[in-house]
């Protein structure tokens, strides 16, 4: 009888150790239900919902206004043409006015021939107004700037400054 009791005590003790050990492992490593990263929400991985999410379309960026376009470019234009405050104000106001007209023409979506005619008309009026508001040398520099682009004009100005420095040193 003592052997039976010892055997059953050992069995009971072994069963108890197994039960306690398994709960310890479960608590420590999280191997419950589906394990790591399960969709059930019990794992350690990404906690995603099983309900599909509606795809919201990305908002289209709003087109910039004439003022935003001109204000964004004015610092570079001012640097390239070496404008004073008055010349900068004249150029900025004229550009804003005519850039707005160009934007309005684009909105109309005219046929290409008509669009070219409208742009040419806008450019003529802009040039006349700039001629009247800017000194001749600054106006010509602006026309060259439009032809070459701001980046090329800035590079030319830097080259000219370097050459002048070399000449003054010699």
The domain tally of the chain equals 2
Question: Using one digit for the tens of pLDDT, what is the confidence trace for 59-84?
Answer: 777 877 878 888 888 888 888 888 88
Measured in residues, the chain has a length of 170
Both 101 and 160 in a single domain? yes
Full domain range(s) for residue 96: 66-165
Question: Using one digit for the tens of pLDDT, what is the confidence trace for 2-30?
Answer: 565 566 777 877 777 777 766 666 555 55
Both 1 and 85 in a single domain? no
Q: Is residue 60 part of a domain?
A: no
Both 81 and 160 in a single domain? yes
Question: Measured on CA atoms in the order 154, 155, 158, 163, is the torsion positive or negative?
Answer: negative
- Burial class from Cβ neighbours inside 10 Å (0-12, 13-18, 19+) for residue 94 reads buried
Q: Is residue 78 part of a domain?
A: yes
């Amino acid at each position: 009888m003592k052997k039976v009791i010892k055997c059953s005590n050992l069995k009971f003790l072994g069963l108890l150790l197994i039960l306690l050990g398994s709960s310890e492992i479960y608590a420590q490593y999280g191997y419950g239900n589906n394990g790591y990263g399960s969709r059930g929400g019990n794992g350690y991985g990404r906690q995603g919902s099983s309900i599909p999410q509606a795809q919201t379309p990305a908002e289209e960026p709003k087109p910039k206004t004439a003022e935003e376009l001109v204000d964004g470019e004015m610092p570079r234009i001012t640097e390239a043409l070496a404008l004073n405050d008055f010349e900068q104000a004249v150029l900025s106001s004229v550009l804003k006015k005519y850039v707005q007209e160009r934007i309005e023409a684009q909105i109309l979506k005219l046929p290409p021939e008509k669009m070219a005619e409208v742009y040419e008309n806008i450019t003529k009026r802009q040039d006349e107004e700039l001629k009247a508001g800017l000194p001749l040398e600054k106006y010509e520099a602006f026309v060259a700037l439009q032809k070459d682009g701001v980046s090329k004009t800035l590079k030319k100005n830097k080259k000219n400054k370097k050459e002048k420095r070399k000449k003054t040193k010699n």
